[in-house]
């Protein structure tokens, strides 16, 4: 997904940009002390890892579903590597949106109508996996009504980065694909303008104008520069014409959504829809009060850990100043170069400590994020499973130039804060997650890696790496890890507060500043993000479910030494691809029902 550390990762948007290449060596599990863990799925055929056996009823159904799904979601398909759909954009007309809803509803009905007796256990699991994915997508399309309310529904889908930065073909071929894309932008912009209901909430407007206006600048700026090597004058002229028209359309769209004064509120889903969101997108069916209590308990756990660490690291300083002391140790070479230097260290630590298998030899590149996509401090773009041999890019955002100097300086992360961002995005976070998901036995596991699975795993990785001994218990390192944990705790509680309890953006900002000790720039971004990405509670929610599953699973299979079972657990968990975590729990714990356990 482009995983936007995430960007703004509403599940439907996030799915539109996720994936990565994988190579596959065999995974070897250590021998357990007691019972034998279930075997890992066999890796997919090296000849065609995306092949589907259509001789079975389920295989025929799944193949036909994807044949219909990809053309309706061409942006998703292209990010997965289906380049026969290059340049196409979804149909966002009323008829197109209805077709998108109808296709998902029909697929759910048809999947549920399959005779269970004709499905193997693996196929039955895939059927449940697909149904949950589609129910979640329908939530955003229908109940949340994102196409008519949220510019974020479109910004991720419009992202042309695949043509610019992913070398899946020669520059001329990708330039032609971009031209086709740019020629489709004016019609798409007109559909978006007709769909979005004004006025927008302030935070939605700022996000939409940053995205749409950013595209307007990008098409004729960085995108043009990316194809400078193409010496075909006619093609360059065609590019200029298409990019200019696309830029005008995006700027007009940006101006349009700002033509009516924005509102202070209007972003909240409401308690009922918020509960439906976590149930339909992540299979977490808990009362809202219980869900909130889980987040409050984790906030207190991390605050207590911070107090203990700061007592030794910065005695006598308030917690906010202790965090600031950690953050003041800035990378002398800048965050991009610092992250480049961190990645080999992190990979070596995984290998030396036997924490998780690393399939393949791929490495992630590190670059500064493009101007149109700086809503979060870091994210990673990972090629999809239909691609082969392409690089992933870990992007780091500079401060907003509109901020004052003090805020800009505070926004640049400290070295240890950045270290855990690198853990989150690359080793062993998102990048490794997708190395494993792309060798999942399930085609769905390769294609549909959910929000709580991906972000939960990446966030879980941060605390797990510290617990495994990264930097040998160094206090500044621990505070860097806790800074990231507290940030996600405040996301969790802000999501519930903003969408179910009447919290204002200002109150969310105060929560990030006063309870999670974040700098002003991050607090500003995160309070705003919570309004248009209500599912950003998935970082902590996913992490806690994974940690509980690890503890339960290793206690079952490695009772004498649970720590010795971490690698086996991590490999088994990642082998599923990315379904809702309660589905994975049911499989790994061999439980009768699907349930969320924290």
Instruction: Give me the percent of the chain exceeding a pLDDT of 90.
Output: 84
Please write the tens of the pLDDT for every residue from 540-576.
Answer: 999 999 999 999 999 999 999 999 999 999 999 999 9
3-state secondary structure of 366: strand
What confidence score (pLDDT) does residue 37 get?
42
Structure token digits, residue 358: 């690393």
Comparison of pLDDT for 523 and 36, the residue scoring more: 523
Residue 58 contacts residue 131 (beta carbons within 8 Å):
no
**Residue 24 pLDDT greater than 60, yes or no:** no
* pLDDT, tens only, 289-345: 999 999 999 999 999 999 999 999 999 999 999 999 999 999 999 999 999 999 999
- Measure Cα distances from 67 to 60, 82, 91, 573, 578 in Å: 11, 11, 17, 28, 21
Question: For residue 545, how many other CB atoms are within 10 A of its CB?
Answer: 26
The mean pLDDT of 120-145, rounded to a whole number, is: 98
Q: Tell me, rounded to whole angstroms, the distance of Cα 343 from its chain centroid.
A: 20
Return the number of other C-beta atoms located less than 10 Å from residue 327's C-beta: 24
Query: Residue 19: its pLDDT value, please?
Result: 29
* Residue 254 contacts residue 191 (beta carbons within 8 Å): no
- What pLDDT shows up at residue 3? 38
Residue 591's alpha-carbon distances to 39, 310, 442, 582, 594, in angstroms, are 17, 42, 21, 10, 8
Cα 197 to chain center, whole Å?
27
Phi and psi at 177, nearest 5°, equal -65, -40
Task: Tell me how far apart the terminal alpha carbons of the chain are, to the nearest angstrom.
Answer: 25
Q: What is the pLDDT of residue 361?
A: 85
- Output the DSSP codes for 512-549: HHHTS---HHHHHHHHHHHHH-GGGGHHHHHHHHHHHH
- Percent share of the chain, pLDDT over 70: 92
The three-state secondary structure class of 476 is helix
- With 0-12 / 13-18 / 19 or more C-beta atoms within 10 angstroms meaning exposed / middle / buried, residue 515 is middle
Mean pLDDT score across all residues of the chain: 91
Three-class DSSP category at 561: coil
Q: For residue 162, is pLDDT > 80? A: yes
Q: Which residues make Cβ contacts (< 8 Å) with residue 155, sequence separation at least 6?
A: 8, 13, 207, 208, 211, 212
Provide the pLDDT for residue 375. 66
For residue 199, whether the previous peptide bond is cis, meaning omega lies within 30 degrees of 0, is yes
Q: Which long-range contacts (CB under 8 A, 24 or more apart) does 330-336 make?
A: 330/412, 330/413, 330/414, 330/415, 331/412, 331/413, 331/415, 331/418, 335/396, 335/412, 335/413, 335/418, 336/366, 336/367, 336/368, 336/396
Taking residue 67's Cβ as centre, other Cβ atoms within 10 Å add up to 9
Q: Which tokens belong to 564?
A: 């010795």
pLDDT in tens, 442-487: 999 999 999 999 999 999 999 999 999 999 999 999 999 999 999 9
Report how far apart, in Å, the C-alpha atoms of 495 and of each of 202, 512, 519 are.
17, 12, 19
Burial of 333 (0-12, 13-18, 19+ CB in 10 A): exposed
Whole-angstrom Cα distance, residue 93 to residue 194?
Answer: 8
Q: Which alpha helices (DSSP H) does 427-560 contain, by range?
A: 430-437, 443-447, 451-467, 475-500, 505-514, 520-532, 538-557
Q: What is the mean pLDDT of residues 337-366?
A: 95
Does the structure show a pLDDT above 90 at 391?
no
Average pLDDT on 158-164 reads 93
CA distance 573 to 576: 6
Q: What is the DSSP string of 3-32?
A: B-SSSS--HHHHHTT-----------PPPP
Q: What is the mean pLDDT of residues 353-365?
A: 93
The reported pLDDT for the residue numbered 372 is 65
Q: Give the E-state strand segments of 237-350 in sequence order.
A: none
Beta bridge pairs of residue 381: 393
């Amino acid at each position: 997904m482009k995983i936007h550390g995430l960007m703004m990762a509403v599940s439907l948007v996030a799915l539109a940009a996720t994936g990565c290449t994988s190579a596959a060596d065999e995974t070897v599990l250590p021998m357990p002390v007691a019972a034998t863990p279930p075997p890992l799925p066999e890796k997919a055929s090296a000849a065609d890892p995306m092949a589907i056996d259509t001789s079975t009823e389920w295989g025929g159904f799944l193949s036909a579903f994807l044949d219909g799904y990809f053309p309706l979601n061409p942006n998703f398909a292209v990010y997965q590597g289906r380049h026969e759909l290059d340049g196409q954009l979804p149909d966002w007309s009323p008829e197109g949106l209805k077709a998108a809803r109808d296709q998902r509803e029909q697929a759910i009905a048809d999947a549920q109508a399959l005779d269970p007796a004709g499905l193997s256990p693996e196929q039955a699991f895939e059927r449940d996996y697909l149904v949950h994915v589609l129910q979640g997508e329908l939530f955003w399309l229908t109940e949340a009504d994102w196409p008519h309310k949220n510019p974020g529904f479109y910004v991720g889908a419009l992202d042309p980065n695949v043509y610019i930065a992913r070398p899946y073909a020669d520059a001329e071929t990708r330039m032609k694909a971009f031209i086709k894309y740019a020629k489709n932008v004016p019609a798409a912009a007109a559909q978006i303008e007709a769909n979005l209901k004004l006025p927008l909430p302030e935070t939605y407007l700022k996000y939409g104008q940053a995205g749409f206006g950013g595209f307007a600048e990008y098409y004729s700026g960085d995108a043009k520069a990316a194809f400078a090597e193409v010496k075909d004058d006619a093609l360059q002229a065609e590019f200029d014409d298409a990019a200019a028209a696309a830029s005008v359309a995006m700027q007009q769209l940006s101006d349009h959504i700002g033509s009516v004064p924005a509102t202070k509120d209007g972003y909240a889903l409401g308690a009922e829809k918020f509960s439906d969101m976590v149930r339909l997108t992540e299979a977490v069916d808990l009362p809202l009060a219980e869900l909130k209590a889980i987040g409050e308990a984790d906030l207190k756990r991390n605050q207590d850990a911070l107090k203990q660490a700061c007592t030794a690291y910065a005695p006598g300083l308030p917690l906010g100043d202790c965090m600031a002391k950690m953050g003041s140790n800035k990378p002398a070479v800048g965050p991009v170069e610092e992250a480049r230097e961190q990645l080999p260290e992190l990979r070596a630590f995984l290998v030396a400590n036997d924490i998780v298998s690393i399939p393949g030899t791929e490495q992630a590149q590190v670059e500064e994020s493009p101007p149109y996509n700086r809503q979060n401090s870091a994210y990673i773009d990972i090629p999809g499973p239909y691609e082969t041999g392409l690089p992933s890019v870990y992007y780091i955002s500079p401060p907003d130039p509109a901020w004052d100097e003090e805020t800009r300086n505070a926004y640049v992360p400290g070295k240890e804060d950045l270290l855990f961002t690198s853990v989150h995005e690359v080793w062993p976070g998102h990048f490794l997650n997708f190395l494993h998901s792309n060798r999942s036995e399930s085609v769905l596991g390769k294609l549909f890696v959910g929000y709580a699975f991906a972000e939960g795993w990446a966030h879980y990785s941060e605390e797990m790496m510290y617990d495994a001994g990264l930097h040998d218990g160094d206090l500044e390192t621990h505070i860097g890890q806790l800074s990231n944990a507290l940030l996600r705790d405040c996301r969790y509680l802000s999501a519930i507060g903003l969408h179910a309890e009447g919290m204002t953006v200002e109150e969310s900002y105060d929560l990030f500043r006063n309870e999670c000790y974040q700098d002003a720039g991050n607090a500003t971004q995160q309070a705003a993000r919570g309004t248009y990405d209500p599912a950003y509670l998935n970082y902590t929610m996913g992490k806690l479910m994974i940690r509980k599953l690890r503890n339960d699973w290793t206690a079952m299979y490695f009772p004498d030494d649970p720590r010795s079972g971490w690698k086996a657990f991590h490999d088994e968990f990642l082998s599923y691809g990315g379904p809702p975590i309660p589905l994975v729990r049911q499989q790994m714990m061999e439980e009768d029902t699907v349930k969320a356990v924290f």
